[in-house]
Structure formats: C-alpha cells, structure tokens
Chains A and B, each alone.
Chain A
Amino acid sequence: MDFAMMRLDDVLLAPVSAAMDDDDAEAFRHQVLTEIKRMEASGLVLDISGLPIIDSFLSRVISEIATAAGILGARCVVVGMRPAVALTLLQMQRPIAGVAHASSLVRGLEKLRAMLEEDA
C-alpha cells in the first residue's frame, strides 16, 4: 500500500487514513520514517482529521512515529484530532502525550515553525 504524502519545503505532511488496519499502520509508519530520512525533513505533520475513531494500536503507532521522527531529526505535530477521538483515548487512559497537537493544518504548521525557530 502506498500512502499519499505531501512535501512542503522541509516539512512532510502525512494524512492518516481512516481505513487503516494494523498492517497498513505498520506500512504507514515505515513509509513516513523512510520519507523523513530521504528528504532530511525538519518537521512532520500527522493529519488525523480523517479519523472518526481510533483504537489503542493506532494511537500507539502515532505516538511512536512522533518519537521516531524526533530521533531522525524532525519535530512532529499531530493535527485535527476530533473530540470523539480525544474522549476515546482519555477513556482508554492512553492519551497521545509527549507530542505537540494543533486543531488544524494551518495552526499545526504555525506551531511547527515556532518550534523550529525555538530550536534554531
């Protein structure tokens, strides 16, 4: 499976699709990290606005991608989480913590720029 991703200067934009099963999630993780390495990205935006629900596996994969991206030198922002998804994660007591979040793509990019400026 090949996932659609977009490059904005040194930032990789990766939308998480709703219809991902566990294998797809692994493939997605691999593709995102490979792409970060290849383009020497300094930022990653994971867009999860297309997710109406979430399970514990996918939430873990998302946190792990964020951490792994950091190791590869890219700061990560998760954008567009729906309230229902946040509620589910809180109920499972598995919030996606330790990563920046933003409500929309635009705000996410703003936040990422601010973070990168801080790093510089």
Chain B
Amino acid sequence: MTSPEARQQLLQLLLQQRDEVQRQWLLNLYKQDTNWSERIDDSALHAEVDTFLTLFIDALQTTEQWDSIQAEAFTALRRHLIDLSNSRVIEGFTPSETALYVFALKQAMHHMAGAGADEKTQSLLSELLSVEVLLDQLGLLTVESYLNHREALIVEQSATILEMASPTLLVWDHVVLLPLVGVIDTDRAQVILDSLLTAISETESVVAILDVTGVPVIDTQVAKHILTAVEGAHMLGASVIITGVSVETAKTLTKLQINLGDVITRGTLRAGLRYALHLVGVHIEKNA
C-alpha cells in the first residue's frame, strides 16, 4: 500500500536530511569489507556518492513511478550506475562489492527514516534492516555464483578453441602440416609454436608446412611470430614452407617492408606440398 502523503513525507525528509544521508552512506561504505579507502580515492568516492544522490533525488521528484527503475525519470541515474559498474570492473571490484555500494545507501535511508520514531519502532526497524541485509547478501551470492560459473565456462571454451585452432597433420613421411586459421595473437602464436615444435620432434619431420590461407591479416607482429616459428623449426633440423599467402598479404608485406628473409613461401598449399616432397626426395608421377 502506497500513500501519496507518506511518499511526500519521505521525500521531504530526504531533501532535508540529504547531507546526513550522504554522511551515513559513506560511513556504511567504510564499514564494509571492501576496504574502499585503499582501493579508491576518497574524494572520488565522495563525488560518486554525491552524484548518485543528486540523480536519485531528482528522479524521485520527477516521477510517481517508484516501482521500476525502467521509468523515464531514472535514465540519467541508470546511465551513471552503468558507467560506474564498468569502471568497477576495470578497478577489479567483485560484482558483490559493486552492488553493496548501492545497498549501503539503503541502510542510510533506514537510519534516516527511523530517527524520529519511538524506541519500539526503532528496534523493529533495526531488526528488519538486519534481515534485509542478510537477504541482500543471499541474493548477491546467487549472482556471484552464477557469474563465477559462467566465467569458468568461458575460460574452458577459449582453451578448447585455442587447442582446436592449431591441429598438426602428418601429410607425408617426415612432412608435417599446420593449417593456421584465424587471427594470430601472442597467446595463439605461443600455442602454435609449441605444437609445431612438438609435432616436428614427434614425427621426426624435416619439413613443416605452415598454411596461412585461413589467417586474415599478416602484419609486422604476425610476421615476427612466423619468423620465430621458422627459427625454432630450424633448430630442430626442419625447414619451414609458408603456403597460402594471399595477394593482399604479399602486398602488405612488401608495403610494410617486412623482410621474411630466407623463408620459403609458396602461393598455394599444393605448390608448397610439391616443394616439400622435393625436399624429402619424393618424386611423384602419373601411372602410365
């Protein structure tokens, strides 16, 4: 049951006591386990709290709809909180810590509302508040567990993708093929290098074909990774043939003046394989 009178009363109280509410909110924040004072600049936190309260009170004054933050009046506040949450992610706060920041205001409001009441009401309010805090924490536990589990899934999936994206194929005796697919960043380059060297060693290959048909961009960085792989293979006694270099890539490499040195390159996998077979002394001819 909502009554317009009670609502007005609360709003008036909030307007009168704004500074006290803000002070209480900050006090509550510093009481949390989060250790705000060490992780965020005091003046920055004060400014955040101040902005929030201003936007919050504005919204409450503007709209009659106090039951949903989706109301038009809350747009600015929502935007402020989204920005704030995003920066909390970067600053390394947990989802719970981020949410408890807002929940601390609730306690301050309770404090304000109960200030004028008699002793019995006050103690009832304080007990109610304790239960509410418990429920908030339980709610946060579900959010936190949900996020943790999803994060674990994402980590697992990226590991799988990383593994799947660098298979090694023994295409002939002592000739190993690595078809590279997708963007090559530093992490992937390390995985590729690892599987290349392991494959050469395990299969006793003397030629390794790196097919870059599926690599969208070869820039300075990627070229460096490829040269490292060539060097590594060389130390295990294997030559590397780069195949599937696109016309675009050939143009980029020459424009960027990237020197692939003595690396053997071929335009197509077919040409590369032919050259690899030549290197291992295999001669193929059609049946008569």
- Smallest CB separation, B207 vs chain A (Å): 11
Q: Tell whether, in the assembled complex, residue B237 and residue A103 are in contact, meaning their CB atoms are under 8 Å apart.
A: yes
State the CA gap A43–B200 with chains docked (Å).
Answer: 25
Partner of B237 from A90, A95, A107 at Cβ < 8 Å: A107
Chain B residue numbers with a CB within 8 Å of A96 are: 235
Known: A101-B236, A107-B237. Contact between A87 and B201, CB under 8 A? no
Is B97 close to A, CB under 8 A?
A: no
Chain B residue numbers with a CB within 8 Å of A87 are: 193-194, 197, 232
Within 8 A of B (CB), among A90-120: 90, 95-97, 100-104, 107-108, 111
Chain A residue numbers with a CB within 8 Å of B197 are: 83, 86-87
Is A82 close to B, CB under 8 A?
A: yes
Chain A residue numbers with a CB within 8 Å of B194 are: 83, 87
Which secondary structure characterizes the binding site on chain B? helix
Is A33 close to B, CB under 8 A?
A: no
Report B222-265 CB contacts with A as 1/0, cut-off 8 Å. 00000010011011111000000000000000000000000000
Q: Tell whether, in the assembled complex, residue B237 and residue A83 are in contact, meaning their CB atoms are under 8 Å apart.
A: no
- Smallest CB separation, A67 vs chain B (Å): 16
State the CA gap A108–B237 with chains docked (Å).
Answer: 8
Partner of A103 from B206, B228, B231, B232 at Cβ < 8 Å: B206
Q: Tell whether, in the assembled complex, residue B237 and residue A86 are in contact, meaning their CB atoms are under 8 Å apart.
A: no
- Smallest CB separation, B178 vs chain A (Å): 14
State the CA gap A96–B234 with chains docked (Å).
Answer: 9
State the CA gap A70–B231 with chains docked (Å).
Answer: 21
Q: Which of B204, B232, B238 has the most CB of A within 10 A?
A: B232
- Smallest CB separation, A57 vs chain B (Å): 17
Chain B residue numbers with a CB within 8 Å of A83 are: 194, 197-198, 200-201, 236
- Smallest CB separation, B84 vs chain A (Å): 41
Chain A residue numbers with a CB within 8 Å of B231 are: 90, 95, 97
Within 8 A of B (CB), among A56-100: 78-79, 81-83, 85-87, 89-90, 95-97, 100
Partner of B204 from A78, A85, A104, A111 at Cβ < 8 Å: A104
Q: Tell whether, in the assembled complex, residue B204 and residue A86 are in contact, meaning their CB atoms are under 8 Å apart.
A: no
State the CA gap A87–B197 with chains docked (Å).
Answer: 8
Partner of B232 from A86, A100, A104, A107 at Cβ < 8 Å: A86
| Interface residues of A, Cβ cutoff 8 Å to B | 78-79, 81-83, 85-87, 89-90, 95-97, 100-104, 107-108, 111
